Every structure is written in structure tokens, then in C-alpha cells.
Structure 1
């Protein structure tokens, strides 16, 4: 299992060196941001190629919805063992294996000649990508103290939002130049480079560096504590279920954006494929600001003496409520500029909770279960992500392409998700554990 080195293994480093050596943690954060960009470009390529692939394989909206969801449900399920495996084997090995596999799957997807092969490839992609964010959470827990974690976690989560913002114009351009198959190969190849850099750069902190980060010398992990680094007992805790429900509600609407926004702009607003590529990036650019604002607000609240858990819950619930207020009226707005403003505000607000969700897992879980609880929460979120494209596709087929009910369902679930966190998730650990 990946563990910090002992002081005896680093004899040339003095105590004075530790504060300088921990600067590497921001290099690791930068690598995780880049990893998030590549990770989400691999997820987004099918959404951008939505109408092109649907025409090539002669798919209905319902079939396309099932194909778009083929990534999300195995991703949700794979998060359960992924969290345990990251806690058990550490972020270096698990992240490297994950990135290598998802890159290979992306490139193999370019060879698809049938709906069934493409569906199977998307399932494999979901399984391969599952360890990424739990590994990122584990890196954050090892390299940052509790009062610092909101900002680096939020920064890491901007990687996905950067990818969402650049994906429509970037992937559309690649698709126009290389075809959708060439686009898949190109993005997959980026992941291979990412793996090589990660293996070269990443390392766990030494005990001396942990002391510099946490402000006190950490005890070596007890064998019995490591032995229970599973997630089974987490399902006996109330927080777990309300975090699953909360993430479900918020992620559902986020994935309506991720999977159907380009199609909505083409079919309901009448934009060309090229114009859609640029317009679809606007909400996602706002999402970058939303993730950073959530981390900033949480950090400011902690700085003013608000408890860590409450400082996470306020951005989560507030962001979800604002997102619902923006999303609900979209279907009834005739003005396209106003609809784009509402969509952009809605996505900004829906991203405010994201970094705080992950930080909250590190606040309410015991240290050896941080990745496990984060993964279970992400499992709940991706149950919502799984249903979002399927339900949306079914609604569109049933209503002749109307998005009215799509936005109504998304707005209601945002309110459910925010309320679940605000009223029911609490710090139930002992005072000693809560200071970890």
C-alpha cells in the first residue's frame, strides 16, 4: 500500500527543508487540473458528436440517451470499489492505471462500427475513469490541512469545467478536421502523455512533510486502522445516504447540460454545428468561476470561525437554490439571449457546490475512509448522471422535442439535492476525530 516514507528513509533532508519541499503539492494540484481536463474531454467527446453519431448509426433520441448514459452508470458503480482501492493502494498507482485504461478505451472507441460496440466502449470508459476524483481527494487529504482543503479541491475541480468550456469549440474543430473517430484518437493520446508525467512527478509526503502541512507530527498509521479502510461500515451511517441523495439531485442537472446542451442549441434554438460549438462553451466558462467561488466562499467562512461542515454546506445549498431559480424558467423564455444568460447563471450556480462536496467528504469521514466516502457520494451523483440523459431523451421523444419538462425536472432535483445537504448532513464524529 502507498504510505508516507519514514524519516529514516530521507536522511539528507532536515526539518528546515520540509516547508520548502511541500511546495510540490501545488505542482500536484496543477497536474490534477490537467488530468481533469483530459478526463472530461474523454467524457465529452460523444456529447459533442451527439447528432453526428446519431445520424451515422440511425439512432432515436431515446437510443442516444441510453448511449450517453452508458458512461455514467458503470462509472457510478465503479466508484464504490474505486474509493476503497484508492484508500488501500494510494493515489499514485490507482490514478496511473485509470488514466492509462481510459486513454486506451477512448482510442478503441474510434474503431466502433456498431451501436453495440460503442455502447460497450462507453461502459468500459466509465469503469476506467472512476478512480480519478477519489485519487484527487486522497492527494488533497495527504498534502493539505483541513482549513486549506477547500481551495485546492476547488481548483482541481476546475479541470472538469475548463474541459467543459473548451470541449465544444475544441472537439467540434477536431471533428470537422479529423472526423469524430480522429477526435476520439487525439484525445485518447493526450491521456498517455498524462500517465507518463504523473508517474515521474507524484510522490506521497514524508512524515516530516506531513508535520509541516498539518502543524503537528502525525502518528504512523496503525495496522488495524488501515485494515478497516473499506466502505461497508459507511452504509450504516445516516450522512452517507443524504450525501448520496444530495449529489444525485445536483449531478442530475449538471449532466443534462453535459449531454444535451449542444443538441438543445441545435434543435430548439436553431444554431449550426459550428455556432453551437462556441455557444455551448459559455455556460461551462461560467462553471469554472462557480467552482472557484464555492471554494473561496467556504474558505472565507472558515476564516470567520464558521465550522468546517457548515462552511461547506452553505455554498452547496445556496448554489443549488440559485441554479434551480435560473434553470426552471429557461423552457418558457422565447428570447435566445435571455435563455443563454439563464443557462449560464444556472451552470455557474450548479458548480458552486462541486468542490465543497468533495471537501465535505474529507470533513465528515475518518482519515482512512476519506476516499471511500467521497467515492460513495460520487456514486450517488452518477446515479443522477446516469438517469439525466435517459430521462431527457425519453421526454424529448414523448413530447416531440420539447425541453419544458426537462428543465422543470432538473430544477426540482436541484432543490432536493441542496436541501438534503443543508438539513441532514452533519459532523457526527467524535471531537478528536473531527480535528483530523
Structure 2
């Protein structure tokens, strides 16, 4: 019997959901100049709005992972997408800084569970040799969002005003939530679309009974593990750098590099495009290397640390670039190189977390989004006080901490199996 490929169809749907999630985030940064002018807001105010999202988002990381493991990724994904789509649409009706802060923090609460839930889905639905590539679809969707986000957002803003952006994407989210509810199942064994051949491939080497058993992660053991803390620290740095780009790249290109609104929409897409490409490539190559016998510790650590090292150097070169187009080139390389690190990070969560990959990824993403909380406001303060070049140089220097942390991750043995 020829195996069905439902898991890859669902991977595409994950890609689309993640794509819209990040479109919903980047829309605010692209609309920042217009919103600042209409409501007489400062850079610090806009940084606080970005930070409000990450407060809500971070709070729901660990609970989101636990809920996905206990109540099921399918149910949690549908609820999360519906929740954040509602508050995406409500962003259009903000009346000033206080209302924007409330709406964006509740929007963040909705998005919080989605990555841990998808990590739990990948663990259950993909063969042991496909897990890094499987989660690359989630990351790819996240990173392709900002490629199209600036251009699409600018087009909607020019046609119907900035409010239309948030209403349109809120409605798209509702459609995607309904699609996941219809097509996804908690396990491949319970799916009406998966045939026996695909099921056997997915479950090869998997303890099905253990996977399906509902139990809480052993948090006491996790908290005493240096690996557990290291994977959080490196992701704090990785996300901090990425969210500097997400929150401030459009305004930076317009203020520091003097791009017009239309040219900014194009230039801001290049870094995210390369990030998406390298994320998929890293997931594919990493799985192939592991399948050929390279240890997970070497494969994940190699890509994770290398991405941060390249990012550090390229950010520095971008900060000292003398022309706008050289600046965009180096910024593209710096953000793109993080594709190596992002893919390695989420694959390592599955490696060391096993059936508790939702909890481990929630922990990792919690720390990553503490970086998200810090990045918008801290970068705004540095840029306002010392200039944009100083803000980029500080971001570059932070990558060194991430490289050191990767050396302690060592994702070759699951946390629950360590003595």
C-alpha cells in the first residue's frame, strides 16, 4: 500500500497558521509610523506596545505546552488561533496607548500556546528522522510572514487605511482555525485520513502507549538540569536579536537609511526571506546528518552556535556599512543566519524533551520571549539616547552569550533519561 502523506499536508497547514501569526505581529511594526502620527505616540510608546504583546505571549508559553500535552494539541491550537484572531481584529479599534496596551497583551496570550502545541504535534506525527524538518514548516511560516508582511500591509494601508490590515488578518485566522479543527487529529492513529502504511512509518521506533499516556512533565528534574537552563538562555539571545528586527527594522530603514515607505516594504523583506530559506535547509540537512550517524549533540550544537556567530559578525558589519544597500545586505545575512539556530533549537527541544517536548519548548520559548519583552523597549531607548548604530552594535554583542550557552545544551539524551 502506498503511504498517504497527511503529516506533510498538515505541515503545510502549520506553515500557514504560523505565517498568519507572524503577519499579525509584523503588521504593527509596519504600521508604526502611521499610528505614531495619528495618536501622537513616541518610539518609547510603540516599544511598550510591542512589549505588551510579549508579556502576554511569554506568560502562556509554559502553560501552553502543558495544556497541549494534557488536553491535546488539536484543541489548544484551535482555541489559540481563534483567541488571537479576535484581538488582532480589535487592534483596529484602539483609541490610544492604554487601549492598545490591553489589546496587544491579550493578543499575546492567544499566540502563546501555538509553538509548544505544534512541537507536541511534530513529536507525535513525524518519524524520528523527520522531526527537525517537520518543525521547519512552523518556523518557515513564521519567517516568511515578515517577507510578505511589509508589502501586503503597506498595500492595505494605502488602499483602505491602517485599520483594514488588522480586520482582514483577523478574519483569515478564523478560517485557519476551522481548517485545523477539520483536518488535524490528536494522533495519526486517530486520524481518518492516515492509512496503515503512513501510520507504520510515523510510529517506527516509537513507544505509542507512552506517547498517548497523559501525564505532567517532571518539572523538578527539569529545573535541576543545566541543559534545561542552557536551551532557555541561548533562545533568549536568539529571540532578542530576531525581535529587534521584527519590532524596529521598518522604522530603522526609514529613519536611519532614509528609505521611502514603498522602498522600505521591499527592503525589509530580504532578511526574512533568507531566514526562511536557511531554516528549511537547516532542518533538512540536520535530519540527514543525524540519520547518517552524526550525533544529535554535534548536529544541533554545530548549527545552533554557527548561526549566532555569523549573526554577530554580520550585524557589526551592518552597523558600520557606509551605504543603505550594503547595510541591507549585511542585515539580511545577520538575520538569515539565525535560521541555523532556530531550526536547531526546536529540534533540540524534541530531542531532549521527548513526549514532554511541549513543556520543554514552552520553557525555551518563554525565555526567548523574555528577550522579546526586552528587545523593543531597550532598543528604542538605546536608539533614542545613543543612535541606531549603537542599538545594532549592542544587539550584535549579545550573540556571544548565546554561543556559549549552546555548548551546554548537548541534545543527545532526553532529560527524563539523564542520571
**In the alignment, is residue 426 of structure 1 matched against residue 405 of structure 2?**
no
Find the partner of 1:382 among 366, 369, 383: 369
Matches of 2:211 and 2:127, distance apart in 1: 20
Please give the secondary structure, in 2, of the residue aligned with 1:125: helix
Shift of 1:210: 5.0
Cα distance change, pair 432–119 in 1 and its aligned pair in 2 (3 A): closer
1:362 aligned residue: 350
Q: Which string of whole-angstrom CA distances, capped at 9 and with x for unpartnered residues, describes residues 338-357 of structure 1?
A: 11110111111022211221
Cα distance change, pair 173–432 in 1 and its aligned pair in 2 (3 A): closer
1:351 aligned residue: 339
Please give the secondary structure, in 1, of the residue aligned with 2:401: helix
Find the partner of 1:265 among 253, 267, 275: 253
**In the alignment, is residue 164 of structure 1 matched against residue 146 of structure 2?**
yes
1:410 aligned residue: 395
1:220 aligned residue: 209
- Whether contact under 8 Å (2:58, 2:369) holds in the other structure is yes
Q: Which string of whole-angstrom CA distances, capped at 9 and with x for unpartnered residues, describes residues 333-373 of structure 1?
A: 11112111101111110222112211100101142x11000
Shift of 1:418: 2.4
1:300 aligned residue: 288
Matches of 1:347 and 1:246, distance apart in 2: 16
Q: TM-score, normalised by structure 1?
A: 0.90
Matches of 1:65 and 1:108, distance apart in 2: 19
Moved more, 309-318 or 263-272: 309-318
- Whether contact under 8 Å (1:91, 1:135) holds in the other structure is yes
1:149 aligned residue: 131
Aligned residues between the structures: 411
Shift of 1:287: 1.2
Cα distance change, pair 430–179 in 1 and its aligned pair in 2 (3 A): closer
1:10 aligned residue: none
- Whether contact under 8 Å (2:353, 2:415) holds in the other structure is no
Matches of 1:405 and 1:304, distance apart in 2: 44
For structure 1, the 5+ residue unaligned runs are: 1-15
Matches of 2:291 and 2:56, distance apart in 1: 39
**In the alignment, is residue 59 of structure 1 matched against residue 59 of structure 2?**
no
Matches of 1:297 and 1:155, distance apart in 2: 14
Q: Which string of whole-angstrom CA distances, capped at 9 and with x for unpartnered residues, describes residues 46-80 of structure 1?
A: 10111111112211211211112211122112101
Matches of 1:222 and 1:150, distance apart in 2: 18
Q: Which string of whole-angstrom CA distances, capped at 9 and with x for unpartnered residues, describes residues 237-271 of structure 1?
A: 21111111100111111111111000011001111
Matches within 5 A, 1:167-206: 167-203=149-185, 204-206=187-189
Please give the secondary structure, in 1, of the residue aligned with 2:137: helix
Matches of 2:36 and 2:414, distance apart in 1: 53
Matches of 2:126 and 2:297, distance apart in 1: 17
- Whether contact under 8 Å (1:366, 1:433) holds in the other structure is no
Please give the secondary structure, in 2, of the residue aligned with 1:147: coil
Shift of 1:410: 1.2
Matches of 1:173 and 1:181, distance apart in 2: 12
Q: Which string of whole-angstrom CA distances, capped at 9 and with x for unpartnered residues, describes residues 189-219 of structure 1?
A: 1001101111111112118665431324634
Matches of 2:360 and 2:342, distance apart in 1: 15
Find the partner of 1:68 among 46, 50, 62: 50
Please give the secondary structure, in 2, of the residue aligned with 1:221: helix
- Whether contact under 8 Å (2:135, 2:347) holds in the other structure is yes
Matches within 5 A, 1:9-408: 20-21=3-4, 23-203=5-185, 204-206=187-189, 210-216=199-205, 218-221=207-210, 226-229=214-217, 231=219, 233-367=221-355, 369-399=356-386, 402-408=387-393
- Whether contact under 8 Å (1:96, 1:199) holds in the other structure is yes
Matches of 1:194 and 1:412, distance apart in 2: 39
Q: Which string of whole-angstrom CA distances, capped at 9 and with x for unpartnered residues, describes residues 15-38 of structure 1?
A: x5xx624x1101110100000111
For structure 2, the 5+ residue unaligned runs are: 191-195
- Whether contact under 8 Å (2:348, 2:411) holds in the other structure is no
Matches of 1:230 and 1:174, distance apart in 2: 47
